[in-house]
Amino acid sequence: MKLLQPYRLGKFELKNRMVMAPMTRCRTQGEGVVGPSTATYYAQRAGAGLLISEAINISTQALGMPFTPGIFTEAQVHGWKQVTDALRAEGSLMFAQLWHTGRVGHSLVKGGALPVAPSPVPIVGQEHFTPAGPQPYETPKELSMEEIDQIIHDYRQAARHALAAGFAGVELHAAYGYLPNQFLADSSNLRTDGYGGSIERNNRFVLEVMRALVEEVGPGAAAIRLSPTSTYNGIAHTAVYAQFQQLLQGLDGLDLAYVHLMNSPFNPADFPDYPANAVQTFAPLTRHPVMANGGFTRESAEAELQQGAVELISFGRPFLANPDLPKRFEVDAPLNALDPTTLYSGGDKGYTDYPFFEKR
């Protein structure tokens, strides 16, 4: 299988083309610090050619969900160092996914501070998980130009901390409706200054962040995750193809490790101007290696690779429930069933206790 063959990703040698996708698990020990169980969790899945961490908050302001990790304090960096050390012992490498949730948060999670966003536009039709239970989204505070500069600085510092924590590189979470995606989308970015009002200006924030990340981690060690057709968290684009075509052209001017493209489930009748398959539509538009994500199975992942438009496939929930997923794919073994009740419940149940396959 091509999926199980080694692959050279720039300066990195991967044991296969299978990537563990970033998945929020809400299992920090407090103050955004990951503990020994997190090191065990990732080390169990070291058979992946590359692992991408769960989304990591770049600052206190970035926090959106409770019990999620950070990388802006010394204790947080130390916690992640234990994770990367455990993976290095297994001969594996890991990228840190850098996260700012923007308006996808709530003051009850943020010590009373309102979420921030490109424009004061709340998410409607959804609720946010808080310590007081699900709550309607609040109207976020519009970011000033000075605050935007500070956030770019925070991304830069987070990248520096990621290297200190032993990560091989970083991935910008610019998908799924979080802050970078909010700048990209017409539905959430109503600005008319240098950061909104046209395709070029809507793309500006993401490109500036990516330039900062490349400067910090060096060529071939920064990446980006995009979900051009995702409508989650109130995201909509009026010219999705033109915008992401231009964004990918801008990213081609940087030396990136890869572009991580997500296929998103939506009703085509509701968005007739959206391409039905984001990976196949946008992968040919970039010079960088493409990592594809979105509901892939053993068979569909292999077929996607054989078509030649993408080089890597990332798997989320299959890796969560099957720590030895590459081995299971190799021998075509059955997969463990996922327990959805333990996705964000805390503790080791549904985290480090999924069984490994043993051929009898």
User: Read out DSSP for 56-120?
Assistant: EESSTTT--STT--BSSSHHHHHHHHHHHHHHHHTT--EEEEEE--TTSS-TTTTTTPPPEESSS
Q: How confident is the model at residue 358 (pLDDT cuts 50, 70, 90)?
A: confident
What's the whole-number average pLDDT of the chain? 96
Residue indicated by tokens 């959106």: 64
Segment 116-128 mean pLDDT? 96
pLDDT value of residue 360: 43
Q: How confident is the model at residue 264 (pLDDT cuts 50, 70, 90)?
A: confident
DSSP state of 268: T
The CATH class of the 2-342 domain is alpha beta
Over residues 273-299, the pLDDT tens digits come to 899 999 999 999 999 999 999 999 999
pLDDT value of residue 248: 98
pLDDT value of residue 54: 98
Residue 267: is its pLDDT beyond 80? Answer: no
Over residues 309-338, the pLDDT tens digits come to 999 999 999 999 999 999 999 999 999 999
pLDDT value of residue 272: 87
Q: Which of 178, 195, 258, 354 is catalytic?
A: 178
pLDDT value of residue 359: 59
**Count of CB atoms within 10 A of residue 21's CB?**
24
Domain residues of the chain, as ranges?
2-342
Q: How confident is the model at residue 345 (pLDDT cuts 50, 70, 90)?
A: confident
Residue 270: is its pLDDT beyond 90? Answer: no
pLDDT value of residue 271: 82
Segment 186-200 mean pLDDT? 97
pLDDT value of residue 307: 95
* CA–CA distance, 198 with 164 (Å, rounded to integer): 37
Segment 169-173 mean pLDDT? 98
Helix (H, G, I), strand (E, B) or coil at 8: strand
Helix (H, G, I), strand (E, B) or coil at 352: coil
Would residue 274 show up in a list of annotated catalytic residues for this protein? Answer: no
